[in-house]
Structure 1
């Protein structure tokens, strides 16, 4: 049995939503607790599937995870960390890629780690080779075994000089989580510098790590023998904040996003204003609304931080279908991020995908047959349709398209959206969306 969501479109979304800790930080901060010799406390934790997955994986490895039912705060006690069996890890990990980040912390605490063959979102290969190469540089021995990869460090882990070919967030996290307790100094060039990376560094520094971030994407880590626990409030989820902002624009609504933080949304807010969205920032969050005029088209390129984030692109593409004129979006971070546009075209949007780099900067996908540029002509009148959610951000984009469309849409596969959007059904209902949820035989 799956869930079927019926959406009656055409109603502006209006009201308040509360955005909590970032999906791209919270699971990583939970993994970091493995490195300490005392319990850690993580606050502002959202109720999303990724948190459940990491909780299960930590418990499998002997970490005691306690949730405060009033506040949602997590206490993570690594005193009894142990090895876990591959089939158990596999069963709990599902299609999550989080187990790869357990490697460094587990080798420091118990001397070995096992990664099952991993799944993940359907938006690109996201190879784990980067991660394995990084671990080998630290002195890890990587062995392919049935069902996955066994990693050990018979001679211990030592600092390394590393350079990433692309500022991958996952590989940067891997280096941080491994280097903080490795012997000697680690220097990482070409690092990702996303706000969530800075927040993870703040977590590790609270535990006793010595980490310097230099201006040119270089991170320097001096290894220490032991780390203690942390007490940390996770930064709010800038992806979810931007998604609700796009929902306000697409449905001609008015949404106050409590918890949205201007500092981490700068590139998004500039673009939002250029298109014709309005926003107002206060100390508690940001109010987003449709400015009332016609939306303006633009040329947009996604990039790693501090550029326009790839996760912001999909909900915004829905807004661009309503702009008057031709917009161009050049995706430079994930090669297969435009699959979600098929459903928008069926709903009446005019979107053409191209293999060429239709932006000012040629990117690494340019001559490799990836449909990574989109030309969007508007304004389009969207009609209700049958939709099956392809991935997390694409799924949310389909929802807001259906909410803005004329007529009724039916959506399957919405479980994927729970991975990154806390209580999104309750939030939609609270904003006045006309929706019904029912069971479907799948």
Structure 2
């Protein structure tokens, strides 16, 4: 099993290319089930979750081809992939595949809309809370689906097709918003989704669906309107740059010091998080080619944050920010409001010398002058990269185990960091 080995203390200087967003690519790939034409997606990241979803889509009959790589770019960073679901051969998404990645449950929406039936295993994914599928089921039922739970599977049927309706999410859910937007695109009549998620990934999906012939307005606001159409066509669409990767590397620079261009990054996708990074003492500037992050020798200022749905501070950056705060000059408070059980990285950061205490869903971090390298273990995707951030500034050597979590969401992380001067390598054991 691979590990990441880091010798801390080096500043980061150079350029880091920001990959396409995993959280945008996955629903876009699933949208290929809505049409028998080819959907071409540009800027698809090379990640374990993407490869797994390709397998899951193949199980339903989706063919795919990869269009090489961009000229003068190192192989593996950005791909153009063509997805063609000309014939759906199976409307069942089995447990052995869905249990490995929660987002694969989202195939239920397009399968139900196009094929009028779907049988999808209850999901798995990162161990950061229950994240129930009630909102998905309630929303699809509002569109006229008959849904039962049978032996760990959600069995959904709509023999006469889905019918537009008004549905209000009792709480904001990115996944359920993705699914209902896709399903409603082929429903009869108008669907109005209220209290919908506003994340940029929702907008990216709606833009793609509109290119395919859907009629969606209001994406990026709490009220989304979808006028159902009889069928969708193929399209060519680009995955937005990854705002979580952008925020992660911005925090890494704030941790180590240095001067890094996050090439291709867009500040409008994570303004709140970048403002928090500025408040720690780093300089963050949008320029034509991306976002430039610099920090001189000044110490890291403590900042309190609370995770919130977009446009608030993202839960997917909470662990990374905690890693940064371990060496702040003072006390910071980090409150998690989106997921329970998302503080599993705390004990591993403590192994590096961090001083962190928990009070319910709030972590109190007392900054220390220096972290010390140690063996640590990743518990989930975002927690794993928080350990990398801490290790970059820790004295001595840090080994991060179970890095398959990292491979799910960060494309060639050790190469990007080492290209900016970090002493980091992947070790196969």
1:408 to 383, 392, 397: 397
Q: Is 1:335 paired with 2:340? A: yes
Counterpart residue number, 2:191? 186
Counterpart residue number, 1:420? 409
User: Contact 1:101–1:177 (CA<8 Å) still a contact in 2?
Assistant: no
Q: How does 1:42-441 map to 2 (within 5 A)?
A: 42-71=41-70, 72-83=79-90, 89-213=94-218, 217-355=222-360, 372-440=361-429
Partner Cα distance (1:34, 1:375) in 2? 45
CA-based RMSD: 1.7
How far did 1:222 drift? 1.0
Provide, for residues 22-62 of structure 1, a one-character-per-residue CA deviation record: whole Å limited to 9, x for no partner: 11110100111111232111001110112111211111111
Structure 1 segments unaligned to the other structure (5+ residues): 356-371
How far did 1:81 drift? 1.8
User: Contact 2:384–2:400 (CA<8 Å) still a contact in 1?
Assistant: no
How far did 1:82 drift? 1.8
Partner Cα distance (2:416, 2:253) in 1? 13
User: Contact 1:29–1:200 (CA<8 Å) still a contact in 2?
Assistant: yes
Secondary structure at 1:44 match in 2: strand
Provide, for residues 323-368 of structure 1, a one-character-per-residue CA deviation record: whole Å limited to 9, x for no partner: 211111121111222221111112111111112xxxxxxxxxxxxx
Partner Cα distance (1:215, 1:76) in 2? 26
Provide, for residues 60-114 of structure 1, a one-character-per-residue CA deviation record: whole Å limited to 9, x for no partner: 111111111234201111112221555xx33333420123211121123323212
User: Contact 1:328–1:374 (CA<8 Å) still a contact in 2?
Assistant: yes
How far did 1:215 drift? 8.4
Length, aligned pairs only: 421
Partner Cα distance (2:403, 2:420) in 1? 18
After TM superposition, the structure 1 stretch with the greater mean CA deviation from structure 2, 209-218 or 120-129, is 209-218
In structure 2, relative to structure 1, the CA distance for the partners of 1:215 and 1:235 (3 Å cut) is closer
Counterpart residue number, 1:40? 39
Partner Cα distance (2:14, 2:95) in 1? 41
TM, length-normalised to structure 1: 0.91
Partner Cα distance (1:232, 1:260) in 2? 18
Partner Cα distance (1:48, 1:215) in 2? 26
User: Contact 1:238–1:261 (CA<8 Å) still a contact in 2?
Assistant: yes
Partner Cα distance (1:299, 1:94) in 2? 35
User: Contact 2:185–2:214 (CA<8 Å) still a contact in 1?
Assistant: yes
User: Contact 1:83–1:110 (CA<8 Å) still a contact in 2?
Assistant: no
Secondary structure at 1:4 match in 2: strand
User: Contact 1:350–1:380 (CA<8 Å) still a contact in 2?
Assistant: no
How far did 1:416 drift? 0.8
User: Contact 1:247–1:253 (CA<8 Å) still a contact in 2?
Assistant: no
User: Contact 2:198–2:221 (CA<8 Å) still a contact in 1?
Assistant: no
